[in-house]
Amino acid sequence: MTAGAPETTRFRAYGPRHIDTIADRYGLPDEVRETVRRISLVLPFRVNSYVLDQLIDWDDVPGDPMFQLTFPQRGMLTGDDEDRLGKLSADPADRLLLREAVTDIRGRLNPHPSGQQQLNVPVQDGEAIPGLQHKYRETVLYFPGQGQTCHAYCTYCFRWAQFIGDADLRFAAPDPSGLLDHLRAHPEVHDVLVTGGDPMVMSTDRLRTHLEPLLDVATVRTIRIGTKSVAYWPQRFVTDADADDALRLFEQVVDSGRQLAVMAHFSHPRELATDLSQQALRRIRATGAVVYCQAPLIAHVNDDAETWSRLWRAELAAGAVPYYQFVERDTGPHAYFKVPLARAAEIFADAYRTLPGLARTVRGPVMSATPGKVVVDGVEETPEGAFFRLRMLQARQPSLVGRPFRARYSATAAWLDELELDPATPADLAAAVRGGTASRTEGSPA
């Protein structure tokens, strides 16, 4: 891996405006630079010095998985759309037309995976509570307003529209008052997932204003923080000016008798291979927090069993818990990243077989769909043909949790709504699955 610039420990984000600087510094070919410039007109693009200097292998660009993970790529939009953007952006007189083209293309990328706004947002006195989702009985998702960005953006992010100024989609709570009211009215909620974006982009002082009030709610027993900061900016826990304060805040949560779960998002084993990420994990674990790891299975980034085997082993070696392998959902450049369920199940099974027992905590491939989390347990051959074995790991309706069901095997289906259910599926399960497969809801945060 080559480092093109001296490492800095001060966080600085680079976006579309810096593409020429990045291209000159790291020797990006002209056509790659142009692709990034065009596609980042539509999809969010953000990196930082750590991602550029320590994660991307510039000798392997554009195929490098870390480059694919963070830089817009040819093929994420149709050739026609890319050409259109190229033509319109070349002439300043076409600025208005360019803006219209960007809006049109975004609209065709399913920016509002439905179900989240309609089904998950709790209502109080007839008003939606901003920055909350309550889908599963015992868990509430909380989106602190100041945490709705990330240290870098994943090209596959299913919350991409959150980062392009789309107020309609944006979940953001100005402060925790709505959350606290909701928790008091719902003592059955034991688990609050603080998510984003990435809550760890907030200063520790800001983060404290969101976390500390939760410690006064006796029914909250677990606080989860969804974050990719250990992968994208481990300095947050090691060298940032308020890194130690963040760790003291974690200790405060643990000392209150609650479980603090850091839901870390690692997409590739390289993210765990730096000294900084290892130090960050050691320091987080020393607070008493437990680190759980999750990520989606993504073409061009991690779509092979060997990569997942190395990833889960690296997580275990670092004292973290492999937790979920998700299926990529249908939004943004889904056609570029999607992996058929049949292939995903093969990759999962091949990787799982290589693991030591302690890493077999991982579940996958999992679709976080409208009725709940559905895992593909494998394929079975029967006299009537081949079927996917499926199971509800989590469900909007608690009575469905843990229930197995089947669907006809398909070599190409990439989501639940593309599957044909076995006619013998119990009616309640079939109704939940058929009634809600058209949309995707929350899943791997940060």
**Number of residue whose CB is nearest ligand SF4:** 157
Rule CB under 6 A: choose which of 159, 210, 283, 396 binds ligand SF4.
159
Could you tell me which residues come within 8 angstroms of residue 63 by beta carbon, excluding any fewer than 6 positions away?
Answer: 300
Site for ligand SF4 contains 157 (CB under 6 A): yes
Site for ligand SF4 contains 197 (CB under 6 A): yes
Q: For residue 416, count other CB atoms closer than 10 A to its CB.
A: 24
Considering only residues 238-267, where is the footprint of ligand SF4 by CB under 6 A?
Answer: 265
Rounded-to-integer distance, Cα 138 and Cα 399, Å: 14
Work out how close the CB of 139 gets to ligand SF4 at its nearest, in angstroms, rounded to a whole number: 18
Piece of the chain touching ligand SF4 by CB under 6 A; list 190-198, 284-292, 347-355, 417-425: 190-198
Site for ligand SF4 contains 329 (CB under 6 A): no
Smaller CB separation from ligand SF4, 159 or 300: 159
Rounded-to-integer distance, Cα 424 and Cα 304, Å: 33
Site for ligand SF4 contains 376 (CB under 6 A): no
Site for ligand SF4 contains 154 (CB under 6 A): yes
Are 182 and 134 in contact, with CB atoms under 8 Å apart? Answer: yes
Q: Which residue has the tokens 């204003």?
A: 209
Piece of the chain touching ligand SF4 by CB under 6 A; list 33-41, 152-160, 336-344, 366-374: 152-160
Smaller CB separation from ligand SF4, 164 or 355: 164
CA 103 to chain centre: 24
Rounded-to-integer distance, Cα 30 and Cα 321, Å: 42
Rule CB under 6 A: choose which of 64, 81, 198, 330 binds ligand SF4.
198
Q: For residue 181, count other CB atoms closer than 10 A to its CB.
A: 15
Site for ligand SF4 contains 236 (CB under 6 A): no
Rounded-to-integer distance, Cα 366 and Cα 392, Å: 9
For ligand SF4 (CB under 6 A), the number of binding residues is: 11
Amino acid identity for residue 301 in this structure = V
Smaller CB separation from ligand SF4, 65 or 197: 197
Site for ligand SF4 contains 150 (CB under 6 A): yes
Piece of the chain touching ligand SF4 by CB under 6 A; list 133-141, 195-203, 319-327, 435-443: 195-203
Q: Which residue has the tokens 């006619």?
A: 423
CA angle 324, 329, 330 (to 5 degrees): 180
For the chain, counts of helices (H) and of strands (E): 15, 15
Site for ligand SF4 contains 71 (CB under 6 A): no
Work out how close the CB of 32 gets to ligand SF4 at its nearest, in angstroms, rounded to a whole number: 21
Rule CB under 6 A: choose which of 224, 228, 373, 396 binds ligand SF4.
228
Rounded-to-integer distance, Cα 196 and Cα 186, Å: 22
Amino acid identity for residue 402 in this structure = G
Stated as kind and residue range, the H or E segment containing 416 is none
Contact positions vs ligand SF4 (CB under 6 A)? 150, 153-154, 157, 159, 196-198, 228, 265, 446
